[in-house]
């Protein structure tokens, strides 16, 4: 599955990225390459959390 990463520049030049399709998956980085790596880690953690706690999915579906 492909995701769209939205990137904005934060304070002090730090890049902030989030996934358009999963707005609760977000991170930051000093460069675009670091941001890509970090968003991959954040996505993996998000998906792992959903697998470990299926009730989390129904809770998150109510807030997104």
Instruction: Collapse the DSSP code of 45 into the 3-class scheme (helix H, G, I; strand E, B; otherwise coil) and give the result.
Output: helix
pLDDT at 36: 97
Average pLDDT over residues 7-33: 95
Q: How confident is the model at residue 22 (pLDDT cuts 50, 70, 90)?
A: very high
Would the pTM count as exceeding 0.85? no
In angstroms, rounded to a whole number, what is the distance separating the alpha carbons of residues 8 and 12? Answer: 12
Number of domains making up the chain: 1
pLDDT at 63: 60
Q: How confident is the model at residue 56 (pLDDT cuts 50, 70, 90)?
A: confident
**In the predicted structure, residue 61 carries a pLDDT above the cut 90:** no
**In the predicted structure, residue 30 carries a pLDDT above the cut 60:** yes
Cα-only R_g, the chain = 13
Host domain of residue 18? 5-63
């Amino acid at each position: 599955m492909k995701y769209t990463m939205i990137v904005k520049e934060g304070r002090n030049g730090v890049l902030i990225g989030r996934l358009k399709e999963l707005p609760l998956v977000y991170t930051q980085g000093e460069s675009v390459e670091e941001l890509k790596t970090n968003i991959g880690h954040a996505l993996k953690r998000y998906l792992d959390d959903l697998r470990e706690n299926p009730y989390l999915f129904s809770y998150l579906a109510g807030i997104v």
